[in-house]
Amino acid sequence: MNFKVRVIDLAGSCCRLGALQFGTKVVETPGCLIYNRSGVVPHLTPDILETLDNVPPIMHTPLASIIEEPGLIKLRGYGKGLASFIGYKDNSVYISASDYQGEAMYQYNENKSISVWTKTGRTKVTPDDYSKFVEVCRPSWYQSLCDTVPANASIKRTRKSVDRTLEFLDQCLKYREKHDSLKTSELWAAVEGGGLVDERQRSAKESATRPVFGFTLEGFGSDQMNVETIFELLPLTTQNLPVEKPRLIHAIGSPTINSLSRSSKLTEVEEENGNDSSNDQDRTATFSLLNLREDRYNEDFSPLVSGCKCFVCSNHTRAYIHHLIINNEMLGGVLLMTHNLFQYIEFFRCIRTSLKNNKWKELRKLFDA
């Protein structure tokens, strides 16, 4: 696996054009990963996902969703890795220790382990436990174990979070060094620090001295961290990370474009080969939220988004999807997820194109309008 930075500070922005390549697959950035739980993308089966265009070739799977089921014993017995087990053998997997979809229970983390919450309750996971599990999953990437705290955690607790996370990282590296089967899986260091600038910078500087492939920026998805705090902390954190290595951030929130614009060198991105018309860019950069349960859509025979080229907008109407939703038909969720995923992928494609064509400021104006 390798990462190449193509352009730095293009168009006066804080983004970079680059590419993450592993095998024959390439992840263009800034981009997104496909989130799943227990190997399942919400509402979408693997065969449906395969029909979608330009889907990133790597699946983001949080540890909590797979540590119990399928679990270590089943995956070890299967022997072909997690991607094959969950039906995505043509894609790769990224395993994260953190998961922002549930409530953060950081107070249960300890000096030698973190607590992962599954359907049956609390499971303690040490760095060695985690590394053994990752070993049988055979992911392309995996995050080091981390003790993430919210922005409002005390100074003492935040410092302890950074100390623990660095110790967990060292133990993950030690295990990886002793086991050749993990050499094909790239380790990303978790950068912590809560809402404290000094601890953010200390975590970044210390993590940068370790032999890791990239860095994940943790804690920015916390409900306790407001937007202005995020925009203050991100550049002060990333300026201490090597420019030649990739960064990944979990649950940055919405709107993503502001995070890309206001965080210094946060995201690495690749040049876009395709040529988009300005109309296509306008449609993807500007949007509004639709509540298709509302009665006003029962005779609305227009597509979800006028001009959208996704399968849903090309073949179905708002009225039809409204009918599916109010009758609790499973197809309603499938169609909405298909459309939203298409739009989100196109959103990042427009960002890459605007950077390439030196039109980043114009794209921001469209989005903020």
Binding residues for Zn(2+): 308, 310, 313, 339
Q: Which residues are 267's β-sheet partners?
A: none
Q: Is 187 helix (H, G, I), strand (E, B) or coil?
A: strand
Binding residues: 308, 310, 313, 339
Closest CA to 192 of 109, 91, 119, 136: 109
Structure tokens at 13: 């922005």
Q: Left (φ > 0), alpha (ψ -120 to 50) or beta: where does 176 sit? A: alpha
Helix, strand, coil share of the chain (percent; to 5): 45, 15, 40
The closest of 215, 280, 222, 260 to 242, measured between CA atoms, is 215
**Distance (Å, whole) CA 359 – CA 362:** 5
How far apart are the C-alpha atoms of 98 and 342, rounded to whole Å? 25
